[in-house]
Amino acid sequence: MERCGAVMSSVLAVVLVLQLGLTPIMAQQEQQTGVAGKEVILSCKDINYQKDMNCNWKYKYKEAYSTIISFSKTKIFKGKAPMTHRSEMKSDSKQLKVSDLNLDDAGIYTCSCHSPEVSISLHVLKLTVSSNGHFLANEDLQLTLMQNSSHSQPHLSIELFHISNKIVTTEILQNEAPQKYILKLKQLKATDSGTWMCHVYSNSPLINQNISFDVKVLGFEDERLEIMYTTVGNTVILSWHLNFKKIEWKEGFIGKLNWEPQGNAAIHELFAFNVTTRREMHKIKKSNHIWFEILETKPDNTIKVKIPKVQLNHSGQYQCQLEINSRRIWSMRALVVMQVSANPAGPLSRGGKMTLLCQVSGPLPSNAHLLWERVNGTEMEIKKSKQHEAKVEVDVSAPGLWNCHLMENNNRKISLNYTVEEAHVWNSYAVIGAIIGASVLVIGLACVCIITGMSWQRRRKRAKRMAQAKQYLLEKKTCQCQRRMYK
């Protein structure tokens, strides 16, 4: 009986031991997801939080356990597991907090305060954004998502959200699934700046994780290429708005404004600028051209150039360029100048002809053309430029007012007028003027002549009379003498 009892008790003990040994294995394994670079808090479930209870957190990798941290009698002992130096245990809840996670931290974490032991499988996700999240407009962004866990890795479904405008963009470019996924956001725009969300999902094991990341896209807030039309003599302001203030860009960069005159391969650097890490802009004039001014703007995130009296030869392409680490982007304003002229210049003689020329400085886009239109005169007349011709001529034989319009998609962009004056109207006035002038002169001269003639005649008469008197006196004297002699 005694032996039997001993056997019984030893069997019991074996069963007990087995049971004890099996318990941890059979305990339900929990699943938790962590994100590389962030922290994760693992909970030791089902424990009555006794203040001075002994607890032990361990990490298991390839069947080898190592202690992360343990707690006994109000004292904390650090173990030798790889993440020990990044771990701490909350003394009340006995939760384990691991900071600055990395892919290697994936594995089994066990917490034993007393039986049953709690076992948590930590799944780590790591999201890497190319260029540290800093881009120039038109560049591609590449995202790499990696996962690691102690068990087999699930296939993940991934979606990207832009927080502010809720755009969902998903394009998995390359798939080294299940460990590694590569996604691309192509040709970023300045407006793609902001916080993005990467949503990672899997059914089994359940993963439902949002990972946020910041994107800054340095660029221009306006169009990349804009055509500006103006007429000779006008004032033009070319401007470029940079977004470095808005997106709080933190790196310094440089830039410049180049001018490529129309029909001339030479490129002139008009000025250069730099933006410091404190987002202050400095502009330095590089050319000795005096026909343009750099305008100061507040806040200083805009490049503004003023051309006061535009000439045909100011046309061409004005290109604002940003550069950072040898990567460049640009935004261009094509300045098109319109001019009207007449050949021969001056008023139109009666029965004569002249040619009116309307031209723009550069080639016109296919949706644009020039149009001469007679505004007043005897009859309505219109002449349109040929496709791809930057000028239109019209022969004129009558006076009137002509307008040249630059039409884009049948909308008038700019207009210039030319008044053809009639020459004979102008001449007859001159003739009348000349006749009046000549008559006045003739009358004046006549008067002078008459006056002079009259006074001359008077003088001659007086001289004649004097001579006659002299003669008479002489004769009288002679006579008396003779009489005296004869006495």
Ligand X SMILES: *[C@@H]1O[C@H](CO)[C@@H](O)[C@H](O)[C@H]1NC(C)=O
Stretch that binds ligand X, among 35-43, 398-406, 441-449, 477-485 (CB under 6 A): 398-406
Q: Do strands 118-129 and 29-35 pair parallel, antiparallel, or not at all (unpaired)?
A: parallel
Q: Is 406 near ligand X (CB under 6 A)? A: no
Tokens of 265: 């391969």
For 355, the 3-state DSSP assignment is strand
Nearer CB in complex with ligand X: 111/124: 124
Between 34 and 399, CB nearer to ligand X: 399
State yes or no: residue 362 binds ligand X (CB under 6 A).
no
Taking the complex as a whole, the smallest distance from the CB of residue 330 to ligand X amounts, in Å, to 19
Q: Give the integer Cα–Cα distance in Å for 250 and 275.
A: 10
CB of 225 to ligand X, least distance (A): 22
Nearer to ligand X, 187 or 208 (CB): 208
* 61 sits near ligand X (criterion: CB under 6 A): yes
If the CB atoms of residues 82 and 116 are measured against ligand X, the closer one turns out to be 82
Asked if 53 touches ligand X (CB under 6 A), the answer is no
* CA–CA dist 113, 40 (Å, integer): 20
Whichever of 61 and 227 has its CB closer to ligand X, that residue is 61
CB of 186 to ligand X, least distance (A): 22
- How far are the Cα atoms of 173, 467, 468, 476 from residue 479, in angstroms, in the given order? 154, 18, 16, 5
Q: How far is the CB of 103 from ligand X (least distance, A)?
A: 4
- Based on CB atoms, which residue is closest to ligand X, 363 or 377? 377
Report the alpha-carbon distance of residue 299 to residue 182 in Å, rounded: 39
Nearer to ligand X by C-beta: 209 or 239? 209
Binding status of residue 210 toward ligand X by CB under 6 A = yes
476 binds ligand X (CB under 6 A): no
Asked if 376 is part of the footprint of ligand X (rule: CB under 6 A), the reply reads yes
Question: Is the omega angle on the peptide bond into residue 116 within 30 degrees of 0, that is, cis?
Answer: yes
Instruction: Classify each residue of 201-231 as buried b or exposed e, where b means 16 or more C-beta atoms within 10 Å of its C-beta.
Output: ebeebebebebeeebbbbbbeeeeeebbbbb
The distance of closest approach from Cβ of residue 366 to ligand X in the complex, given in angstroms and rounded to an integer, is 27
Q: Which uninterrupted H or E stretch holds 4? A: helix 2-26
Query: Which own/partner pairs from 408-414 qualify as long-range (CB within 8 Å, at least 24 positions apart)?
Result: 408/365, 408/367, 408/368, 409/367, 409/368, 413/229, 413/368, 414/229, 414/230, 414/231, 414/338
In the complex, the smallest distance separating the C-beta of residue 382 from ligand X, rounded to whole angstroms, is: 16
Nearer to ligand X, 166 or 483 (CB): 166
- Give me the 275-294 binding string for ligand X, x by CB under 6 A, dash otherwise: -------x-x----x-x---
The answer to whether 219 contacts ligand X (rule: CB under 6 A) is no
Residues in contact with ligand X, total (CB under 6 A)?
26
Q: Contacts with ligand X in 296-315 (CB under 6 A)?
A: 311, 313-314
Contact flag: residue 208 with ligand X (CB under 6 A): yes
372-380: list long-range contacts, CB under 8 Å, 24+ apart: 372/402, 372/403, 372/404, 373/402, 373/403, 373/404, 373/405, 374/400, 374/401, 374/402, 375/400, 375/401, 375/402, 375/403, 375/417, 376/400, 376/401, 377/401
Which residues bind to ligand X, rule: CB under 6 A? 61, 103-104, 106-107, 148, 161, 197, 199, 208, 210, 252, 274, 282, 284, 289, 291, 311, 313-314, 376-377, 399-401, 417
